[in-house]
């Protein structure tokens, strides 16, 4: 109970928003960083999850962290080192690790390809002009209809249609260069 009452509702909401932003920005790069060394999806995911849980438990110290990116990478690196030490010292754990690793390789590639596509799409979305980006996000991410978007932005439904068509055309063109078909 004492933990919950340290912050006002507004402060807690601000901390949640900052945490969510950090998670969205760093979750995938940290996962790739851990995966590169461990070569096992589940371990990499667990490590990243543990790091963010630890970060959330220290949310009252967010303001004291000078460089969040360095801080998170250091935490992940230390967790990876801990896991590797455990693997080196535990024969059964090591055997399980290498057995699991064989069947996860293809899933890892598929997952990384999907993440690559998502990153390319996010980058392409960020290149859209501001109004077009807002219209795209309202339509594709929030699921609003053209009329709802038009009402919300106080523009005509025809403008929404034209902007959305242009956005989708641009995104298809940019992202298609990132898809590798075998």
Maximal C-alpha separation, the chain: 67
Selection from 122, 127, 157, 162 nearest residue 141 by Cα: 122
Q: Are 53 and 76 in contact (CB under 8 A)?
A: no
Dist. CA 78–CA 72, nearest whole Å: 10
Per-residue pLDDT of the chain (182 residues; tens, 9 = 90+): 444 445 567 777 888 888 888 889 899 999 998 888 887 888 899 999 999 999 888 887 877 888 888 889 999 999 988 887 776 666 665 566 555 554 444 454 555 556 666 677 777 888 888 899 899 888 887 788 999 999 999 999 999 999 989 988 888 877 666 554 43
pLDDT at 122: 77
Dist. CA 163–CA 169, nearest whole Å: 10
Domains of the chain from N-terminus onward: 1-106 (1.10.1740), 127-182 (1.10.10.10)
pLDDT at 123: 78
Report field, pTM of the whole predicted structure over 0.85: no
Residue 35, Cβ neighbours under 10 Å: how many?
A: 21
pLDDT at 103: 46
């Amino acid at each position: 109970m004492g933990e919950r009452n340290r912050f006002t509702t507004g402060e807690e909401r601000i901390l949640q928003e900052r945490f969510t932003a950090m998670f969205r920005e760093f979750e995938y790069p940290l996962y790739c960083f851990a995966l590169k060394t461990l070569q096992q999806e589940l371990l990499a995911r667990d490590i990243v999850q543990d790091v963010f849980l630890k970060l959330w438990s220290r949310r009252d110290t967010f303001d004291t962290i000078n460089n969040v990116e360095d801080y998170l990478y250091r935490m992940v690196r230390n967790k990876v080192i801990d896991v590797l030490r455990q693997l080196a010292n535990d024969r059964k754990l090591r055997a399980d690790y290498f057995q699991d690793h064989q069947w996860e390789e293809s899933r890892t590639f598929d997952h990384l390809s999907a993440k690559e596509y998502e990153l390319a799409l996010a980058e392409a979305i960020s290149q859209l002009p501001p109004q077009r980006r807002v219209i795209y996000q309202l339509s594709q991410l929030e699921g609003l209809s053209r009329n709802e978007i038009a009402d919300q932005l106080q523009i005509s439904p025809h403008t929404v249609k034209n902007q959305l068509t242009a956005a989708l055309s641009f995104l298809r063109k940019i992202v298609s260069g990132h898809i590798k078909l075998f």
